[in-house]
Amino acid sequence: MRDIAKSTSLEFPHAAMEFPPLGGAIKRGFDVVGASAGLIVLSPLFLLIALLVKVSDGGSVFYGHRRIGRAGRIFHCLKFRTMVRDGDAVLAAHFRDNPEAKAEWESSRKLRDDPRVTRVGAVLRKLSLDELPQIVNILLGDMSIVGPRPVVRDELEYYGKAVVFYFKSRPGLTGLWQVSGRNDVSYDSRVAFDRHYVENWSLAGDIRIILKTVPAVCMSRGSY
């Protein structure tokens, strides 16, 4: 799995400076212990979801999407596959027939009615279970339990000068955005959440966000 999750070198001129990891050894140690425990406890659920995804259409169980990590490094963010195998073609056709959907995508990088999502995938997304494989990304050092959501290259332009704060932290499995409405908040608010998180980081703050994640996921707040 390391082959599909490994990071590559810096590609961004404004990220050329190597930032020390947010939280240092304390945050990293917390991540390793928490992710290891999570992987052990959740292994039966992992196996069940993997089986459901596989039998639903015979396709691959996991999907690794190129995302931007700390200091601009590229890594493959792991998820349980929730989309059809020809998703790019399906989305392009959807945009041709629905200009409103294209505008929604360009403003938020999300769609309330995404034609690429499978039936099993819709349930996994609603409960955020598709993101569980990112525990592996945490163990590999690509991500953290708490931090900004990992973005694709095109999303960096939404950050403007605030991108420096994104680059200072490993992307998170959960974070302020996830417990504050997720897709129901604007992208500008998401950027503000990321900046606030980095500027005010504490281990106690991470624990509070983790505790808030549980009810947020159970209520499926802003999840689609």
Per-residue pLDDT tens over the stretch 149-180: 999 998 888 898 899 999 999 999 999 888 88
- Checking 161-166 for CB contacts under 8 A at 24+ apart, the result is 162/191, 162/192, 162/194, 162/195, 163/14, 164/14, 165/194, 165/195, 165/198, 165/199, 166/68, 166/194, 166/198
**pLDDT, the chain, mean:** 86
- Label residue 103 by pLDDT band (50, 70, 90): confident
Would you say residue 5 has pLDDT above 70?
no
Q: pLDDT confidence of 18, banded at 50, 70, 90?
A: low
For residue 216, name the pLDDT band (cuts at 50, 70, 90): confident
Residue 224 CA to residue 184 CA, distance in Å, equals 10
**pTM for the full predicted model:** 0.82
Query: Does 132 or 185 have the greater pLDDT score?
Result: 132
Comparing 14 with 74, the larger pLDDT belongs to 74
Give CA separation, 207 vs 31, 55, 144, 181, in Å.
11, 36, 13, 18
Domain ranges of the chain: 2-82+117-218
| Residue 163 CB partners (closer than 8 Å, separation 6+) | 14, 156
Per-residue pLDDT of 185-206, as tens digits, reads 788 888 999 999 999 999 999 9
Interval 52-102: pLDDT, tens: 999 988 889 999 989 999 999 999 999 999 988 777 788 888 888 888 888
Q: What percent of the chain has pLDDT over 70?
A: 88
pLDDT of residue 177: 86
The kind and range of the H/E element at 66 are: strand 62-68
